[in-house]
Amino acid sequence: MNTARLVLNCTKFACYPANINCRRRLCTSQYMMSRHSHTKRIAGLDKNVWVAFTSVAADPSIVNLGQGFPDIPPPSYVKEALAKAASVDRMNQYTRGFGHPSLVKALSQVYGKVCERQIDPFKEILVTVGGYGSLFSTMQALVEEGDEVIIIEPFFDCYVPMVRMAGAKPVLIPLRLKPGKKQTITSADWYLDPDELSSKFNSRTKAIIINTPNNPIGKVFTREELQMIADLCIKHDTLCFSDEVYEWLVYRGHQHIKIATLPGMWDRTITIGSAGKTFSVTGWKLGWSVGPEHLIKHLQTVMQNTLYTCPTPLQEAVAQGLLLNLKMIDQPECYFSSLAEELEGKRDRMAAILQEAGMTPVIPEGGYFMLVDVTSLNQDLSHMDDDDAYDYKFVKWMIKEKKLAAIPVTAFVGDESKKQFEKYIRLCFIKQDSTLDAAEEILKNWSKI
Amino acid sequence: MSRRLCARRTEGVDKNIWVEFTKLAADYNAVNLGQGFPDFPPPKFVQDAFCEALRGGPMMHQYTRAFGHPRLVETLSRFFSRIVGHEIDPLEEILVTVGAYQALFSAFQALVDEGDEVIIVEPFFDCYQPMVRMAGGKAVYVPLRPKAAGGGAVLSSGDWVLNPEELRSKITPRTKAIVINTPNNPLGKVYKIEELQMIADLCIKHDMLCVSDEVYEWLTYDGAKHVKIASLPGMRERTITVGSAGKTFSATGWKVGWAMGSGKLIKRLKAMHQMSVFDCATAAQEAVAQGFEREYEVFGTPESYFLQLPAMLYHKRNKLAACLQSVGLQPIVPEGGYFIIADISSIKVDSRDLSTEDEPYDFKFVKWLIKEKGLATIPVSAFYSPGHSKEFDKYIRFCFVKEDSTLDAAEDILRNFIQ
């Protein structure tokens, strides 16, 4: 009752004279459009290569080696874990915002073992909506106007728009192909020039984003390369955002190194992982950020103001999957290694098919994409839209004429590097044998009209 | 690191009552009438739909369409087009999000710029304010106030109203939008058509947008009717309506929600969405689609979950309201939603038992109630602006969407310590 009276007596509002609020303009929808235009933060960010190409490639008559998702089924125990989780009443309701307890504990165990350090499940981990959501939380938490963020080309296409959306300036540096003609090009032939990289750092550099294994090239950064990057981060006191969603997909002869484990790097690195890529369940959209408390807490702040929490049963299922594989981690049955083995075979098959067809693949050391140089095909595309880069034209032509979908690689680079990459297309090889068979058919018959 | 680490947009938005109080409730194993989620399962048909989705072939576990799984947006379109009486384009006028929470976030980020003002009606679901702030906007508050109550009459949420002159006075040339929530959390108010018309008139006159949070749209009691402000003349082009599968199907842990509105506005939310999460979990969307398909067929019949759930909750509401009344707590009986708020002024707690932190009385009371009595609720001043929270610090919020056994346990606790 007392409170009600307080409310009635509350006079904390000012009275504006009526004419301030009087607009002598017609409320036509045209006027509405100009007054209610998009906010500055999304200006120019609506174009998106996935939105452009996925609907085209969704036509079932097209063999889709474009967007990076498996058409092979996930391991059955992961699906069963989800069915089991969903049957538990409590699992259908909200869980802990920063990550379902059983999942963050499982992540802490897996990464604790891999990194050989104690990782606090509640303070040093945030569960997000996919690796994508982790990238977004990281940018929103730690990057703002006045900052510069170094991005290595070719890059997963969302890095640049996310940096821009955070108000910062992307600074690009391309991987370069080592000179000298070789029989077989691999992703290891692409390198970062140390002097060039060093020149990109300055006092405004807030962070560098690295992606290893890299999408789209498939490069797995070596310890020496990561050390070079780490030295610069420490020298210039910058952060490092390490996108490691393909961390388990590393092929024979190569090793995935976590830059956060190098001396001086844990306190300045956010490492991003993905359940979707780990367990071939991209449609679950679960990922995580791992890092020191003083950084993760800001990502958690973003989380609690953006989507608050991720779906519960999915998190429970991923937790079960992780624990199961943790038990088998050094054994061949462990999905973390068995998937890589399966994919290595597909990688080699894909590469051979492409070489047969007269194209030049870049054999990846990791990940599930392969870059292909189409220069030697000499495909005439002069009849197509001049505004598009060559690879965009090539992919559109290939979808239409050959019924095979890929992704143009200039989607992953800035304007200045377009010429360097416009003869490359990206193919995804985490596909079942029948899909690869169909692709093989098309490529075998390439020269025939 | 010596330099500044966090972005300025994270400043001032780091405190969160859910993080704080959910942890407390869990730590003390309290009878939980705090956070708004059911402790009973979703209806069987919806659980079955989820299991079926999981068995639905490999594509159920891979990426789906970014702006919403085709089956879901089509069924939402069919379902809601019938309700509002005009075609809602499934591809252009609907965006599926990770819960209504993300729909709200996308709306504020897409529509609110630095310096824009956004009117928020108090009491408000707490996230509106930090979301407006994070978008660089300025929150301007206008409170619901109880009509002068007749002596001794039990208050209803319908007695709390907006003063039209007061609302008008809050509008400036910088006002971009108004946020309304009907049925309202925490008060339970269900805005009547005249009230929405008054707001709509101002929106049209001052060319403002409207964000209408309608997550509890099916939960109305005592004949109160949920009205969609977007259906009023002139409002369709300027309203984003937010909905939730979690609240609709008692499956809050699935985190599937949506924003609906004119193509021009939804397009901007889509741009924001593809920059932040890109797309939402496939299987959950598939299950929600099946849920709506089933409800489409039985809508308006006794089979409909959208009739069964409010009928069930009506009894729980009455049960809890009666208990609160009987122990001297003054409930405000809600016309809709999941919650009842009650005036705790009459309960005397030794001030030595309360925390010494500088926080509103209801925060201290709620913490004491969790720790000493094992009952979790939420302090209502959390739903008020910083400037007003001290005036509304004698109310706490109870969620009644709980099994009867939970409500019984809560009643036992209340009766034991108050009498």
**Which of the pair, A50 or B43, is modelled with greater confidence?**
B43
A325, A74 in Cβ contact below 8 A? no
pLDDT score, position A360: 94
Record the pTM.
0.92
Q: Reply yes or no on whether the pLDDT at A2 is more than 50.
A: no
Residues 6+ apart with CB under 8 A from B181: B121, B124, B125, B212, B213, B214
pLDDT score, position A48: 74
Hey, what's the torsion of the CAs at A228, A229, A230, A232, to 10 degrees?
90
pLDDT score, position A113: 95
Q: With an 8 Å Cβ cutoff, are A141 and B7 in contact?
A: yes
pLDDT score, position B337: 97
Q: With an 8 Å Cβ cutoff, are B330 and A1 in contact?
A: yes
Mutate to test the interface with B, among A16, A87, A129 (most CBs of B within 10 A): A129
Residue A110 tokens, joined:
């897996």
A198: contact with B, CB 8 A cutoff: no
Cα–Cα dist B81/B361, whole Å: 46
Q: With an 8 Å Cβ cutoff, are A311 and B58 in contact?
A: no
- Where is average pLDDT lowest: A265-269, A373-377, A388-392, B355-359? B355-359
A426, A187 in Cβ contact below 8 A? no
pLDDT score, position A58: 73
Nearest-by-CA chain B residue for A207: B5
In angstroms, the separation between the Cα of residue A372 and the nearest Cα of chain B is 24
Cα–Cα dist B92/B89, whole Å: 5
pLDDT score, position B387: 85
Q: Which of B136, B158, B140, B162 is nearest to B149 (CA)?
A: B158
Q: Reply yes or no on whether the pLDDT at A132 is more than 60.
A: yes
Which pLDDT tens digit goes with each residue over A303-356? 999 999 999 999 999 999 999 999 999 898 999 999 999 999 999 999 999 999
* Axis-axis angle for helices A293-306, A130-142 (nearest 10): 110
pLDDT score, position B346: 87
In angstroms, the separation between the Cα of residue B364 and the nearest Cα of chain A is 17
Nearest-by-CA chain A residue for B19: A97
- Contacts B276 to A, Cβ<8 Å: 132-133, 136, 306
Nearest-by-CA chain A residue for B239: A36
pLDDT score, position A15: 29
Cα–Cα dist A155/A172, whole Å: 9
DSSP structural state of residue A178 = P
- Contacts A27 to B, Cβ<8 Å: 204-205, 207
Q: In which residue are the tokens 């008054």 written?
A: B198
A272: contact with B, CB 8 A cutoff: no
Q: By CB neighbour count within 10 A (0-12 exposed, 13-18 middle, 19+ buried), where does B268 fall?
A: buried
pLDDT score, position B151: 53
Q: With an 8 Å Cβ cutoff, are A283 and B102 in contact?
A: no
pLDDT score, position B150: 54
Q: Which of A400, A392, A403, A399 is nearest to A425 (CA)?
A: A392
A314: contact with B, CB 8 A cutoff: yes
Residue B15 tokens, joined:
């405190």
Q: With an 8 Å Cβ cutoff, are A7 and B170 in contact?
A: no
ipTM of this complex prediction, to 2 decimal places: 0.94
- Contacts A309 to B, Cβ<8 Å: 99, 255
Q: With an 8 Å Cβ cutoff, are B391 and A13 in contact?
A: no
Which pLDDT tens digit goes with each residue over A52-111? 777 776 788 899 999 888 988 899 999 999 999 999 989 999 999 999 999 999 999 999
Residue A366 tokens, joined:
């990791």
A132: contact with B, CB 8 A cutoff: yes
Residue B81: phi, psi to the nearest 5?
-60, -40
Which residue ranges in chain B fall short of pLDDT 70? 1-2, 148-154, 419
CB nearest to A307's CB, from B54, B102, B207: B102
Longest dimension (CA), chain A: 87
Q: By CB neighbour count within 10 A (0-12 exposed, 13-18 middle, 19+ buried), where does A254 fall?
A: buried
Q: With an 8 Å Cβ cutoff, are B146 and A306 in contact?
A: no
Of how many residues is chain A composed?
A: 449
Share the mean pLDDT of chain A.
89
CB nearest to B275's CB, from A94, A165, A282: A165
CA distances from A141 to A294, A333, A400 (A): 11, 38, 42
Mutate to test the interface with A, among B48, B106, B277, B396 (most CBs of A within 10 A): B277
Residue B406 tokens, joined:
């939970």
Nearest-by-CA chain A residue for B63: A283
In chain A, % of residues over pLDDT 90:
77
Q: By CB neighbour count within 10 A (0-12 exposed, 13-18 middle, 19+ buried), where does A116 fall?
A: exposed
pLDDT score, position B277: 93
Mutate to test the interface with B, among A15, A41, A84, A100 (most CBs of B within 10 A): A41
Residues 6+ apart with CB under 8 A from B66: A50, A51, A54, B270, B273, B274, B278, B279
Give the burial string for A30-58 (b: 16+ CB within 10 Å, else e). Answer: eebeeebebbebbeebbebbbbebbeebe
Q: Which of A237, A176, A240 is nearest to A211 (CA)?
A: A240
pLDDT score, position B152: 53
pLDDT score, position B68: 97
pLDDT score, position A26: 32
Q: By CB neighbour count within 10 A (0-12 exposed, 13-18 middle, 19+ buried), where does A17 fall?
A: exposed
Q: Reply yes or no on whether the pLDDT at A33 is more than 80.
A: no
